[in-house]
Amino acid sequence: MPVDILALAAHRDDVEQTCAGTLLKMAEHGHRTGILDLTQGEMGTRGTMDDRGREAAEAARILKVSWRQALDIPDGRVENTWENRLKVVRVLREQRPRVLILPYWEGRHPDHYTAATLGYEAAFLSGLAKLPGEGSAHRPFKIIYASLYRDVRPTFVVDITDQFETRFESLMAYKSQFTDQEAGSGIFPAQKEIRARVEAMARYYGMLGGVTYAEPFVQKEVGLVDDVTTIPVKSI
């Protein structure tokens, strides 16, 4: 069965950090959700590729994700090549999502911002009927960008107040990444600080939307409103 919403990210645990609450909420609303990790995490400072695979499967279970897969693009070398675009096209034509969630197109890690461009261009190619390959042409109707770790004003936020605790649980399923250890101690926050950081960010975006916790997104196109009396979020 196809998925309704597919989140694409460079690494296992990227989705859990940026849009996991939204995926869980959509699953609870009856939508089929999926996660496509471009790499398998072999270059990570902490843990092994196998560790990340087991943790990703557990996180997917917690988030009620219907489908999850990791491609074989080299970790630390996510490049927007024709070959890599075709790998993503195969998934898009197989899973046929209506909504595609991509990382924001700017970031500290080159894999992250490259994944945004790679995902967008693959989505375009996937809709070309004459492009050879398996599956019939398919193009997502909506592309949105998870912008949690960029200091940009979101186009909209998703209320994840009811999903926050489970979202945090999915992140902490990555024990190889978020338990205290010597490797990466100068990069990763101490375990006792993680919840405070995650909660502070979710509360900030929740405040913007008038709820307790939220996740932010950006869309490039103009939104459409049929009835201005039903627009949510108070102005004053």
Element (H, E) at 202: helix 191-209
Among 13-17, 35-39, 61-65, 131-135, which is the least confidently predicted range?
131-135
Residue 117 pLDDT: 97
Does residue 77 carry a pLDDT above 60? yes
Q: What is the mean pLDDT of residues 76-86?
A: 96
Domain ranges of the chain: 5-220
The DSSP call for residue 179 is: S
- 5-220 — its CATH code? 3.40.50.10320
pTM of the model: 0.93
Strand order across the 214-218 sheet: 67-70, 33-37, 5-9, 99-103, 142-146, 214-218, 156-159
- The pLDDT tens digits for 1-12 are 899 999 999 999
